[in-house]
Amino acid sequence: MSELLSEAEARDAADGLAGLRDRFVLDGAVYLDGNSLGALPAHVPARMEDVIRRQWGELRIRSWTEGGWWTAPERVGDRIAPLVGAAAGQTVVGDSTSVNVFKALVAAVRMAREDGGGRDEILVDAATFPTDGYIAASAARLTDCRLRPVAPAEVPSALGGRTAAVLLNHVDYRTGRLHDLPALTAAAHAAGAYTVWDLCHSAGALPVGLDAHGVDLAVGCTYKYLNGGPGSPAFLYVRRDLQDRFDSPLPGWNSHAEPFGMRPGYEPAEGAVRGRVGTPDILSLLALEAALEVWDGVSVAAVRAKSLALTDFFLRCVGEYVPAGRVESVTPEAHAERGSQVALRCPSDAGGVMRRLIGRGVVGDHRAPDILRFGFTPLYVGFADTERAARVLAEVVG
């Protein structure tokens, strides 16, 4: 047995989060793609059987009231809130990340215009996930703003009197680089602009501190580190003191002050409910609610500590096992700049390497042209998994 494997087994034995692994449906593979789709919590199928057979099959329409369907978007939002550092009453769940980015960004520009000063510019992360860029471009056209792609590190110097809103990713989806949310939010506020943060690769992986850092608006998906299931609805955070100014570009009957009044004129509801649009996707929403129960009693700080330990250990194992020159880490070494994934540049047939890894039971993913991504979900990934992944990678590329 290698020294690294012995160390891995010892660290797993001392891991306070190790018991959570049994709460997920896992086969013998090393699953390092939770930053794309989280594993299934084992109790969710039985919960969904009740939703389908009893709530839908027997109660039918009565479940909107008796089953709590109507209030699920806010209720599930309040389950997510502590995981992103928010108090209750500011987070609503529904729609996709893309739709929520659009709502938040247009609302941010509208608030900036209300403040005065002729603001007509949106800054967007130049390396953002493509859809965020597409949405930002559409929002800019809709609001007659100029769109300026900039690197997050350049945002403070790019801000000016014309900047209305800044759309940034908390963690870069390709490299796993963690951007400085507190400092960038403060810089935007100093310039009179509003922030919209995309938390898809940080929610459930590390402390975010939305309330503590005064973030204006934030969105995030729930099918990655929150394990909500494929296509599970996203969340939208609206800071409490901005809720009465949140002017959604997608007003719907579900966000109306009197949703069953069926009045022709729109009057927005109070609070985070303004973030709702149409009828909630109840099956996905309740699957997410059940999945979030695995977080009961779990500290996000403990998850972050294990995440950093796992990614440190993986990089160390890669350094010792993989022949020199075959891969290169593009994920920052500094903990303050690292999310919960490791991205390795593999100049020789990265897509083929990942296919062979998956064939040998190490599941990550490939981002063109040459990036191998490995996501570390501390709720169910251990140190022995990490050592095995690096050892198999060395065999595949060597």
- Which residues are identified as catalytic? 129, 198, 223-224, 373
Decide: 130 and 88 in contact? Cβ < 8 Å: no
Identify the DSSP state of 51: I
Structure-block tokens of residue 114: 């209300």
**Quick one: CA dihedral 48, 54, 57, 59, positive or negative?**
negative
Three-state SS for 35?
coil
Rounded to whole angstroms, the Cα distance separating 228 from 292 reads 7
CA-atom Rg of the chain in angstroms: 22
Q: Is 226 exposed, middle or buried (0-12, 13-18, 19+ CB in 10 A)?
A: buried
State the DSSP string of 228-247: --TT---EEEE-GGGGGG--
User: Three-class SS string for 53-116?
Assistant: HHHHHHHHHHHHCCCCCCCHHHHHHHHHHHHHCCCCCCEEECCCHHHHHHHHHHHHHHHHHHHC
Of the candidates 148, 195, 190, 207, the one whose C-alpha atom is nearest the C-alpha of residue 169 is 195
Rounded alpha-carbon distances, angstroms, from residue 210 to 79, 213, 237: 15, 6, 9
